[in-house]
Amino acid sequence: MVKDQSDFGKFAAPDLVVRVVDQRDPTMNVHTVQTKGKTTTTADVSYFTDGTPATNVMSGREAVSKSFWDGDALMIRTETKNSKNEDTEIVDRWVLSSDGQVLTTTSHIETTEGTADLKLVCRKEEVNK
C-alpha cells in the first residue's frame, strides 16, 4: 500500500495492506493481508471477470460479486450485509497503471446509514521465486 496516496475517508487507515492478485481470465483470485495496530486480518476472494456471479465470505458474511470490464478498468459490484444485517453495496473500480506497477482501487460503499468513498493505491513488488 502506498499510504500517502491512499484515502480511507472516515475510516482509520490500516498500517499495512498487501494484496496478491492472480488473474487468469475469467478467474481472478485475490489474497489480502491487512494490519492495523496489533491486529492482522487476511481475506481470500475470487471473482469472474466475465460477469458470472461469485460468492465469497467477507468479514464473516456471505457476499455476492459480479465483475466486468469497463475499458481498462475492472468493475466489481458486491452485495452483502453489514454487521447490523443491513444491505450493503460496494462498487470497486480497479485500474492498473500503463506500466503495470500501480494498482488503484476506488470503492464506493452504500449502506442504510450512508455512503463512503475509499481509495487504495498499491505498488507492485517483485516476489522472489
pLDDT digits (tens, 9 = 90+) for 47-61: 999 999 999 998 889
Q: Is residue 117 part of a domain?
A: yes
In the block, which residue shows the cell 487507515?
13
Q: Which range of residues forms the domain containing residue 71?
A: 3-123
Q: Is residue 128 part of a domain?
A: no
pLDDT digits (tens, 9 = 90+) for 63-115: 999 999 999 999 999 999 988 889 999 999 999 999 999 999 999 999 988 99
Distance between CA 129 and CA 125 in Å, rounded? 12
Q: Is residue 55 part of a domain?
A: yes
b or e along 85-121 (b: 16 or more beta carbons within 10 Å of the residue's beta carbon)?
A: eeebebebebebeeeeeebbbbbebeeeeeeeebebb
Specify the number of domains making up the chain. Answer: 1
CATH of the domain at 81: 2.40.128.20
pTM, whole model, 2 decimals? 0.91
Contact criterion met (CB below 8 Å) for 106 and 92: yes
Contacts of 101 (CB under 8 A, 6+ apart): 123, 124
Q: Is residue 46 part of a domain?
A: yes
